[in-house]
Amino acid sequence: MAGQRITGRPHQGARSRGPWPVFVLVVLLTLLAACSSDPNQDDPGPGERIAAFIDAWQRLDGDAAADLTTSPAAAAVMLDEVTGDLRPDRLTINAGDVARNGATQATATVTYTWVLPDGTWTYPATWTWKKDRDWELVWSPAVIHPKLGERQTLAARTTPSEPGVLVDRNNNQIVQPVTVYSVVLLPAKTPDIPAAAAALVPVLSPIDPTVTADGIVVGVARAQADAAVATASTSGSAPSSDDAVPPADPSSIGYTVTNLREADFLKVKPQLDAIPGLSFPSQVRNLPPTRDFAKAILAQVDPIAAPLMRGTDGWSVVIVDSTGGVLDTLDDHPAVAGQRVTLTLDSGIQQAAEAAIADQDKPAVMLVMQPATGELLAIAQNAAANAQGTPALTGQYPPGSTFKMVTANAGLERGLIAPGQPTDCPGVFTIGGRAIHNSHDFALGTVDSTVAFARSCNTTFANLATQMPADALPAAAAGFGVGLDFVMQGAVTLTGKVPDADSVVQRAENGFGQGQVLVSPFGAVLMAATAQRGQMPMPTLIRGTTTAVDRPAPARSAQAVQGLQTYMRAVVTEGTGAGLEPFGDVYAKTGTAEFTGDDGATHAHAWTVGYLGDLAFAALIVGGENSIATNAVVARLLAAVTH
């Protein structure tokens, strides 16, 4: 029928023209795409988050680093705790490979480098990252270290090293703990300061010669003035905080008169107790055997010895539990003890040398060397010499007749003199208008050259020097080490100067140690040691070190060695060193070297150099006037070391 609407279900097998077939096709295509594409190609992984975590923790910002983990609160606590316990100077974390374990998980290898106060600690670790909305570090204590567990932390421990020691050649410790008492004068408790000062001097000056009554009075006045300035500066305005320094208590102001070792303090304590206004605080200090023991030398040795004796502290990194108990040691560096530094000094000989010159009011020095090794056994200076620095090692003085050892050596090498060979010893020798005199113009006439040396004939050796070339004495002196430049570990040294002498007058004056020749006491003991050994030994002060020299010492011939030894023995048996004969087979040369003093008058330095067995010595008293004085101090030394 025309216009009629037909309704009902479509015929089976007929095609639908609705939307469903299109929808199904889209779903299928999507699933196929999902199955065939890389699940990670649109996700760069945790790289940026790893970098952010590393950056935050390297800045030691635990909170910022913790925010990138799965447990921010727990991570922040442990990161801060570990950082606080390790006290790092710097933390570096280097990221390694990142491996993807599916779409939402990855592992990263890293290397930790902790720069700790005592050393550097490095180790690897593995981090696990997972992705929810963003990548997060899966938190556990193993993030910090693979062995770290819950309720544990890392800690750095320091193990102090044993300090080294400074010892002498006989293994005697040079510096040891000593109780020292300070003698302090309290002005507020002293009724009469000048009277107290006057009473202190006779008690303290025998121990410390620098203590004087005027020095005490001036020192007390200065201490009071300093305290007054301090009080005025702190009382001018109201304190601004609890840390403000209060004005000084007048009763506490004190002046330290001197410091005494316990043994010295106990000897004078009864006298000190009788003087009102004194107090005696004490402390333990590391000190040498005596107040002035090798005083100037130890000051030079210390910069070399101290670093060697310091040692290296040990350190470790450990895992500790909540009670502080150590569970595991992750890195361990044992302490290294300080070295034993051995000086070549012999404490007994050093103290004997110091005692021998202690009573001299003029600068006096004495050196002792072992010729076989060149090791210095003693470098002694009295108080007056100590006030000048190290004249024993660097002072340069005219050597006087001790230089006849060099002149004789040059003549022996050339056959101009020899033991048993006659020579002239007039009272006066004149050359080029210059008159050279013997002491008090004594004259021996024609004698064995051995006698001329033993009696110290200036005229003989002045004349001998004129018979040799201008460079003869400098070359001979170099054979004894004089004029050479040594770099010896532990002390600065100078040996002396022996210039070429172009005029015969200068050669004559240099020949008996006056002219332009200068020698240090160090150079003099090297001369004595060379005379004993035959060839110059290399000087040493610290065992295990090497001394350098600017040029080698010229060799000496056997005839020169034997001839000089014969001459030096005669000085003791029949010459100017006769006072040393009781001490055995002593060889020596004395000297009196004139100079013009500050008063314009002529004075003289006193010298005695020589050797006994394997012990060479040199003594100088500046302005000592006559070698009788140096013979006496050498005799004291030999009496002490040969008893």
Distance (Å) of CA 484 to CA 168, 419, 523, 552:
27, 29, 9, 8
pLDDT tens digits for range 268-278: 999 999 999 99
The per-residue pLDDT for 574 is 96
The three-state secondary structure class of 440 is helix
Which of the pair, 462 or 15, is modelled with greater confidence?
A: 462
Which of the 8 DSSP states describes residue 585? S
Give the model's pLDDT for residue 42.
Answer: 67
* Full strand arrangement of the beta sheet holding 314-321: 152-159, 314-321, 326-333
CA distances from 50 to 81, 139, 207, 298, 473 (A): 21, 13, 72, 58, 80
**What's the confidence (pLDDT) of residue 633?**
97
Tally of CB atoms within 10 A around 251: 10
CA distance 244 to 234: 8
- To 10 degrees, what angle do helices 458-466 and 504-511 make? 140
Q: What is the pLDDT of residues 151-201, one digit of tens each?
A: 999 999 999 999 899 999 999 999 888 999 999 999 999 999 999 999 999
Give the tokens for residue 470. Answer: 């201008």
What is the predicted pLDDT for the residue at 368? Answer: 98
User: pTM for this structure?
Assistant: 0.77
Share of the chain above pLDDT 90, in %: 80
Cα atoms found within 13 Å of the Cα of residue 172, Cβ hemisphere only: 13
Q: What is the pLDDT of residue 209?
A: 86
**What average pLDDT does this structure show over 350-376?**
97
Mean pLDDT to the nearest integer, 44-59: 94
The predicted structure's pLDDT at residue 596? 83
Write down the pLDDT at residue 328.
Answer: 96
| pLDDT tens digits, one per residue of 10-43 | 333 333 334 433 333 333 333 333 333 344 456 7
CA dihedral sign, ordered 499, 500, 502, 506: positive
Rounded-to-integer distance, Cα 289 and Cα 533, Å: 32
CA 322 vs. chain centroid, Å, equals 44
Sign of CA dihedral 507, 510, 514, 516: positive
- Confidence check: pLDDT of 236 > 80: no
Q: What is the pLDDT of residues 67-81, one digit of tens each?
A: 999 999 999 999 999
Q: What is the pLDDT of residue 11?
A: 36
To the nearest whole number, what is the mean pLDDT of the chain? Answer: 89
Per cent of the chain over pLDDT 70 is: 90
pLDDT, average across residues 548-561: 96
Query: What pLDDT is attached to residue 224?
Result: 86
Residue-level pLDDT at 435: 95
Higher pLDDT pick, 571 / 175 = 571
Residues 598-615: tens digit of each pLDDT:
888 889 999 999 999 999
d(CA 141, CA 322) in angstroms, rounded, equals 14
Q: Which residues contact 296 (CB under 8 A, 6 or more apart)?
A: 379, 381, 386, 389, 390, 392
The reported pLDDT for the residue numbered 249 is 55
> Which CATH superfamily is 347-641 part of?
DD-peptidase/beta-lactamase superfamily (3.40.710.10)
Give the chain's count of helices (H) and strands (E): 19, 26
What is the Cα–Cα distance from 208 to 205, expressed in whole angstroms? 5
Q: Which CATH class is domain 47-156?
A: alpha beta
Would you say 493 and 522 are in contact if contact means Cβ atoms under 8 Å apart?
yes
Structure tokens at 319: 């895992």
Both tokens assigned to 405: 């050892």
Q: Provide the 8-state DSSP code for 141.
A: G
Q: Mention every residue, 6+ apart, whose C-beta is less than 8 A from residue 550.
A: 484, 485, 486
Q: Are 326 and 159 in contact (CB under 8 A)?
A: no
Sign of CA dihedral 479, 480, 486, 488: positive
Yes or no: say if 128 and 100 are a contact pair by the CB < 8 Å rule: no
Amino acid letter for position 106: A
Grade residue 430 by pLDDT with cuts at 50, 70 and 90: very high
Helix axis angle for 472-479 and 504-511, nearest 10°, is: 30
Confidence of residue 349 (pLDDT cuts 50, 70, 90): very high
Q: Which of 33-47, 328-342, 472-486 has the lowest mean pLDDT?
A: 33-47
pLDDT surpasses 50 at 243: no
pLDDT beyond 60 at 2: no
Tokens at 165, concatenated: 């020691």
- What SS3 class is residue 83? helix
- The pLDDT, as a whole number, for residue 10 is 37
